[in-house]
Amino acid sequence: MEKIKVLIADDQELILESLHIVLSMEEDLEIVGLAKNGEEALKGCEQFMPDIVLMDINMPVMDGVAATALIKERIPATKIIMLTSYKEVDYVLAALRRGAEGYLLKALHPKELAAGIRVVQAGGTLISQEMASKMIKSINNTAPAKNNEFGLTAREIEVLHKLASGLRNQDIAEALYLSEGTVKNYISTIYSKLNVKGRREAARKARDSGMLDHS
């Protein structure tokens, strides 16, 4: 039987160790790595190529949402389950938008946690009905069709929000865990799609079209 390779990321050592112990007891699961922040999770994914990452949301250095975005960009085959100890809708929604396969509450019984891992490994998702309806509502509220008439991607809109807030390229790069070169590429694509020549004009056009209503 081929085991499901799991990497666990959590900044609380007690949780990290206890999850490691209880999940190692499952015959079909193999814990290939432990990480204490998003950066370590990303490195661990590149090194061990896990099937599943159990990703805490709030972690130092790099949080789970940012780490999810980067892992999904670089190793799209890796499936990510967000681990949360509270129903923080905004963080979970952000992670799901960046490609996470679902979320589980840390308070779950280890058997349920293991069952969730198997569901995701088999191609399923772990999103409660409540979260799905909040997700649909959130998408409807924040992204009406008129708000994205220029065909900007979610990542480009994120960069545009930072741009409109007056952040420099370097600050945007740090905030979104991108290289400065990548940010410059995003900005030139944004200018081209909006048909503008500079930041001020881009911000004004985005506000006029309603794209920055919720910034």
Q: 172-197: per-residue pLDDT in tens?
A: 988 888 888 889 888 988 888 888 88
Give the C-alpha separation, 176 to 129, whole Å.
Answer: 30
Burial class (CB in 10 A: 0-12, 13-18, 19+), 113: buried
Query: Mean pLDDT, the chain, as a whole number?
Result: 86
pTM of model > 0.95: no
Least confident of 23-37, 117-131, 176-190: 117-131
Mean pLDDT of 161-175: 89
pLDDT of 56 higher than 90: yes
Q: What is the DSSP letter of 126?
A: B
Mean pLDDT of 12-40: 95
Mean pLDDT of 94-117: 87
Going from N- to C-terminal start, the domains of the chain cover: 4-137, 154-209
Task: Please tell me whether residue 86 adopts helix, strand or coil conformation.
Answer: coil
pLDDT range class, residue 214, cuts 50, 70, 90: very low
Partnered with residue 126 across adjacent β-strands are 102
In a 13 Å sphere around the CA of 64, the CA atoms on its Cβ side amount to 30
H helices of the chain, in order, are 13-24, 38-48, 64-74, 89-97, 110-121, 129-142, 154-164, 169-176, 180-194, 199-208
Q: Which pair of tokens denotes residue 202?
A: 């881009």
Query: What local confidence, expressed as pLDDT, does residue 106 receive?
Result: 82
pLDDT of 17 higher than 60: yes
Q: Does domain 154-209 have CATH number 1.25.10.10?
A: no
pLDDT of 143 higher than 60: no
Mean pLDDT of 69-88: 88
Give the C-alpha separation, 191 to 10, whole Å.
Answer: 39
pLDDT of 72 higher than 90: yes
Residue with tokens 């420099």: 168
pLDDT of 47 higher than 90: yes
Assign domain 4-137 to its CATH architecture: 3-Layer(aba) Sandwich (3.40)
Q: What is the DSSP letter of 210?
A: T
pLDDT range class, residue 23, cuts 50, 70, 90: very high
pLDDT range class, residue 79, cuts 50, 70, 90: very high
Query: What local confidence, expressed as pLDDT, does residue 142 receive?
Result: 53
Residue with tokens 């900044």: 11
Query: What local confidence, expressed as pLDDT, does residue 146 receive?
Result: 43
